[in-house]
Structure 1
Amino acid sequence: MAYELTGKIKLIKDTEQFSSGFTKREMVVTVEDGNYPQDINLEFLKDKISLLDSVSVGQEVTVSFDIRGREYNGRYFNNLVGWKVTAGAGAEQAASSYPTENPAPAGGFDAFDEDIPF
């Protein structure tokens, strides 16, 4: 399931490369939430790290992300993994790793629900 948040970029970290060849890059977005703004850390993995090249600190963005969870030694951890960044409120240009040349099917996106293996 995909989620979305909108806020202002507080920090974009450098790309981290691990000995296994795995790469990630993190971004912190400040989301106004009543009296207490929330600093939300999102990570971008592998080929998605290039999405952060088109945005900068202080910029208003909308980020689409998935929530990933795992267990390690009896403790549970969650990660917010970004896959799309749209710059500015209502901006038409989106930095996305998904192709946009194929339009949605005539029946809408619900037509794909039965084909998804997860």
Structure 2
Amino acid sequence: MQITAKLIQKLPLQTGQGKNGEWKKQDVILETDGQYPKKICVAIWGDKINESQLQEGNFLKIDFDVESREFNGRWYTDVKAWKIEMVGGESLPNMPDNASPIDLGAPSDAGNDLPF
């Protein structure tokens, strides 16, 4: 799955030691663009954490997986990023760049009116 959204908050970096060595995890809060913006918490693990990209206000394109697991009768869902790219510009485009304005004015040559 993929999403393009604005990074609005960076949560504290989490680190620890596991059987495979040291790990680190960075959770970020993204906000989608549109009439009804949604907030999404995305987890970024290990070498995918790039501090220069993860600045509040940056627009990011994130490829991610959604995974759920059960623990003691409760279900937990993670959104894990596996690819992160910066998106240029201050805001997400709402219209294609090739859209041309529509002229709603009167025709310039009124003498060529058709009879119907």
Runs of 4+ in 1 over 4 A off after TM superposition: none
Corresponding residue number in structure 1 for 2:46: 46
Larger Rg: 2
1:69 corresponds in structure 2 to: 68
Partner Cα distance (1:23, 1:55) in 2? 15
2:15–2:23 Cα contact (<8 Å) kept: yes
TM-score by length of 1: 0.63
Alignment of 1:32-111 (within 5 A): 32-34=33-35, 36-49=36-49, 51-89=50-88
8 Å CA contact 1:55, 1:87 repeated in 2: no
Gap regions ≥5 residues in structure 2: 90-116
Q: Read off the aligned partner of 2:41 and give its amino acid letter.
A: N
1:30 maps to: 31
The count of residues paired between Structure 1 and Structure 2 equals: 86
Say which of 2, 14, 32 aligns to 1:4: 2
Q: Percent identity?
A: 23
Q: Deviations over 1:7-35 (max 9, x none)?
A: 1110122321124333211111101243x
CA distance in 1, matches of 2:4, 2:84: 10
Unmatched runs of 5 consecutive residues or more in structure 1? 91-118
